[in-house]
Structure 1
Amino acid sequence: MNKMGTIIGFTFKNKVRTKSFLITTLILVLLLSIGMNIPYFIKVFKGEDGSGSAQSPGVHIAVIAENGSRAAQLLQTYAQQSGTGATVVPYASENDPSLKQALSDGKVDGYLTLTEQKGTGLGSVVYHSKDDSSEEQSFLQSALQQVNAQLIAGDRLTPQQIAAMNAPVQLGTEKISADGESAEGKSHSLINYVIVYVLLILFFMSIMMTGNMIAAEVTSEKSSRIMEILITSASPLAQMFGKVIGIFLVGLLQIAIIAAAIAANLMLPHNSGVLQDFNLDLGQLSVSLLVFGIILYILGYFLYALMYAAVGSIVSRTEDLGQAVMPIMMLGFVNFYVPLFSISNANTMLVKVTSYVPFTSPLSMLLRIGVGDVAVWEIILSLLILLATIFGMGWLAAKIYRTGVLMYGKRPSIKELRKAMKAYKI
């Protein structure tokens, strides 16, 4: 056990210090940071970052209307009561020098030209701006609808009645199962879809990268004949499980660094409202998704890591490693792409079947837990099948590793490997 602990510590320290780990992790962190800050960079390049700008946050619109225009007054009143921080300023004409100066200084987003028709509300309405944003569109649509209703109703309705009349009806939804029973509580928030999508990519990359790392480590030691020296100081089983656990810690460290980078970017001042902009609420995040996600990642890692270690032990040259691990990589791609392409509908028969197949269940079951409908007994059954497969794969990988690390030359056939395995008992 002490020897295995030494191997775990040595493997972890050795891999963390390698240039490949450092460069890969740095590139991932940089790409994530750049991607999360692209909207801010665009604003900076456009000069909309707020530094040195006289314009305060919100919508700022000028209205071209005659003095005493009822529509302009109603727009101003609505802007003051809407709580959006919007401002509406009337100007005499489009050629007003103060309007042109306000547009040039960025104090006004654009100007509105409108006409009134007695008894029938607003006539033609045109909004002039350099960059018509969705925020301006949303404000104008709501404001002009209120103004138009007020102009038509005149004094017959109060502003509160008109606001109530124009308020959108809130439509509640309730999911039902196939038998018509209520499925309340099973709806999933948008944040769960985002977390599932991120975890799928993160876990797939981590499992594949660390798995290839294990296979390459074993093959390189075998091809350089270092394995013959190592085999005398520690048993093959201690070496295999020591490498698997050591590189597992490397994968966890990499995931922790990436998670910290995401959290750090979200805490930046210009990203403080990014979750609200996309209607994401961390308070709606399912805790069970994170708990089961960690469990499924650990189990999925050990299943694939043991396969990579076994395959790496029967390859004598690093040049042949890519071809040898290709079947495992294909399984990994199936494990990733089935849930990825089913994220919009996690209750298909394909996802349900793959959530019980041990080689695909880690990510398929993660999808069902996050954004699908899954019973507790289904999760337990899937985990038990996965655990049983890991124990079986551990026994088989130990047999292959024990014999494969000392078999040189061409890659042994299955018949030769079985014959050699019979000579050793695990």
Structure 2
Amino acid sequence: MNKFWVITKEVYKKNVKSTSFIIMLLAPLLAIGIFYGISYFIAQDEKNAEPSAIAVISEDPAIQDVFTIEDGPYEVQEDITTQEAAEEALLDEEIDGYLTISETGNTIDSAIVHTDSLTNIIPILNEQLSNYQTLLRANELDLSQEQVMSLSEPVVIEESIVSIEDGNLTQEENNDTTVKEIGAYIVSFAVYMFILFYASIIASEVASEKGTRIMEIILSSASATVHFFGKLAGVMLILLTQLVVYGIIGFVTYFFVKDSATIQGLTQGIDLATIAKELLGYTSIFFITGVLMYVVFAAFFGSLVTKIEDVNKSITPIVTLAIIGLYVGIFAFASPENIVPVVFSYIPLFTPFVMPFRIASETVGQLGIWISIIGTVGFTAILTYLSFVFYRANVLIYSDGGVIKSLKRSWGLLKSNRKAKKINS
């Protein structure tokens, strides 16, 4: 057991101090920081932006009062009352546009001329004119203010989201679907990115020791079993370190910025506690098993190469499988009931990418989820065992013929060892 922890500690210490790990650790934090900074400066620009200057041209000067909004996005220039003056002011860039209004009976006709800078406020102007037109028609019908308000009262549709479980309807929170979608995207992309990084780490660990012939010295004092699982444990500890760092930084950062206007705007209508619960549920199982599965696969492929230069070639099949899984998962989000994502969601190599999207779209029941979890965990255990068996057979095989020839040689060696055991027994 001491040898196991020595190998684990050595793998952990060497990689956690490496430049690549620090870049991997900081890259998402830097991306989030940039996104927050951009959002903050955009919000500040909108807050400090000068209101747009407009002119209102109408035969009824009193109509300008309709557009009086305190601290609104625009400001009416009351001294401009004719279209000629408005056009001249627009040419001199004293105003951003002008609105012409005419009344035909109780119907208002309006048109706006602007320099493509008032698009965002046109809906506001339209709403104010609609309210004014409603008041004109209400006055003609001699309606009271209460009657006018009752006529313009909007219809509110109360939304209830339900799920069908065991023939019963179960009501869910309205933000459940959004939370699951966020969890699905986080897990699928995180699995993909972590696979690329950690598969490369463990494959490089094994290949570098074989390439320098240090492996022979190591295995003279420690068994292949201890070496294999020590490497895996070291890599998974690095992964755990990264997740813990993210968790601590996320918690501390949110504690300090949760009351800021930017964060309030981003998290409005989102239950963060529900998101955390969702991430610690099914999605965390798919994340852990997905990364572990591909890391084990990478250790196996890394043991097939003889030189560190061949590591990228050796893990190409792993990267290809991860890309396929990610794209099928995204397709599953768009068409969750399509036969392709349904089938792929039960194939263990692709389950961590596809099943979270099916769960988010609520197109799979509890039985299907647990079948996929059991299948993925079981496949990971079988893959670990098979990878270890082949690892033990080929870790000291040196061949310049490539991955395929090394795999054939290790398979032949395995069969020879089995025959020898049968003869001896």
Shared topology, TM-score over 0.5?
yes
Q: Matched residues in 2 for 1:391 and 1:406: separation?
A: 24
Q: Does the CA-based 8 Å contact 1:16-1:22 persist in structure 2? A: yes
Partner SS state of residue 343, structure 1: helix
Alignment counterpart, residue 263 of structure 2, candidates 272, 292, 299: 272
Change (3 A) 1:260 1:168: farther
User: Shift of the alpha carbon at 1:338?
Assistant: 0.6
1:9-158 superposed matches below 5 A: 9-41=9-41, 48=45, 50=47, 53=48, 64=56, 69-76=61-68, 79=69, 91-93=78-80, 113-117=99-103, 119-126=105-112, 128=114, 131-132=117-118, 134=120, 136-154=121-139, 156-158=142-144
Q: Does the CA-based 8 Å contact 1:33-1:262 persist in structure 2? A: no
User: Shift of the alpha carbon at 1:420?
Assistant: 2.1
Q: Matched residues in 2 for 1:256 and 1:141: separation?
A: 52
2:327 is equivalent to residue 334 of structure 1: no
Q: Matched residues in 2 for 1:385 and 1:326: separation?
A: 25
**Given residue 5 of structure 2, which amino acid in structure 1 is its aligned partner?**
G
Q: Does the CA-based 8 Å contact 1:211-1:308 persist in structure 2? A: yes
User: Shift of the alpha carbon at 1:219?
Assistant: 0.4
User: Shift of the alpha carbon at 1:87?
Assistant: 7.5
2:413 is equivalent to residue 420 of structure 1: yes
Q: Does the CA-based 8 Å contact 2:58-2:101 persist in structure 1? A: no
1:23-422 superposed matches below 5 A: 23-41=23-41, 48=45, 50=47, 53=48, 64=56, 69-76=61-68, 79=69, 91-93=78-80, 113-117=99-103, 119-126=105-112, 128=114, 131-132=117-118, 134=120, 136-154=121-139, 156-171=142-157, 184-185=171-172, 188-257=176-245, 264=253, 267=257, 269=260, 271-275=262-266, 280=270, 282=272, 285=275, 287-410=277-400, 411=402, 412-422=405-415
Change (3 A) 1:213 1:355: same
User: Shift of the alpha carbon at 1:20?
Assistant: 1.5
Q: Matched residues in 2 for 1:150 and 1:284: separation?
A: 45
Partner SS state of residue 346, structure 1: coil
Q: Matched residues in 2 for 1:310 and 1:289: separation?
A: 30
Q: Matched residues in 2 for 1:16 and 1:407: separation?
A: 29
Change (3 A) 1:336 1:111: same
Q: Does the CA-based 8 Å contact 2:305-2:406 persist in structure 1? A: no
Q: Does the CA-based 8 Å contact 2:232-2:296 persist in structure 1? A: yes
Q: Matched residues in 1 for 2:113 and 2:169: separation?
A: 47
Pick which of 148-157 and 396-405 moved more: 148-157
2:6 is equivalent to residue 6 of structure 1: yes
**Given residue 16 of structure 2, which amino acid in structure 1 is its aligned partner?**
V
Partner SS state of residue 154, structure 1: helix
User: Shift of the alpha carbon at 1:217?
Assistant: 0.9
Q: Does the CA-based 8 Å contact 2:331-2:341 persist in structure 1? A: no
Question: With structure 2 as the length reference, what TM-score do the two structures score?
Answer: 0.79
Change (3 A) 1:159 1:127: farther
Change (3 A) 1:126 1:154: farther
Partner SS state of residue 124, structure 1: strand
**Given residue 33 of structure 1, which amino acid in structure 2 is its aligned partner?**
G
Pick which of 359-368 and 405-414 moved more: 405-414
Which protein has the bigger helix share?
Answer: 2
Deviations 1:48-106 (A, max 9, x none): 265xx485xxx777553679745333444xx57xxx9677656131669xx99xx97xx
Structure 1 vs Structure 2 CA RMSD:
3.8
Change (3 A) 1:89 1:350: same
User: Shift of the alpha carbon at 1:316?
Assistant: 0.9
Deviations 1:339-373 (A, max 9, x none): 02322232322222112111111121111222332
Q: Does the CA-based 8 Å contact 1:193-1:370 persist in structure 2? A: yes
Partner SS state of residue 99, structure 2: strand
Q: Does the CA-based 8 Å contact 2:8-2:231 persist in structure 1? A: yes
Q: Matched residues in 1 for 2:15 and 2:300: separation?
A: 19
Partner SS state of residue 172, structure 2: coil
Aligned length: 402
Q: Matched residues in 2 for 1:236 and 1:247: separation?
A: 17
Q: Does the CA-based 8 Å contact 1:218-1:309 persist in structure 2? A: yes
Partner SS state of residue 112, structure 2: strand
Pick which of 312-321 and 121-130 moved more: 121-130
Q: Matched residues in 2 for 1:74 and 1:276: separation?
A: 34
Partner SS state of residue 333, structure 2: coil
Change (3 A) 1:229 1:158: farther
**Given residue 113 of structure 1, which amino acid in structure 2 is its aligned partner?**
L
Partner SS state of residue 374, structure 1: coil
Question: With structure 1 as the length reference, what TM-score do the two structures score?
Answer: 0.79
Q: Does the CA-based 8 Å contact 1:122-1:151 persist in structure 2? A: no
- Residue identity (%): 25
Change (3 A) 1:238 1:86: same
In structure 2, runs of 5+ residues without a counterpart are: none
Q: Does the CA-based 8 Å contact 1:12-1:246 persist in structure 2? A: yes
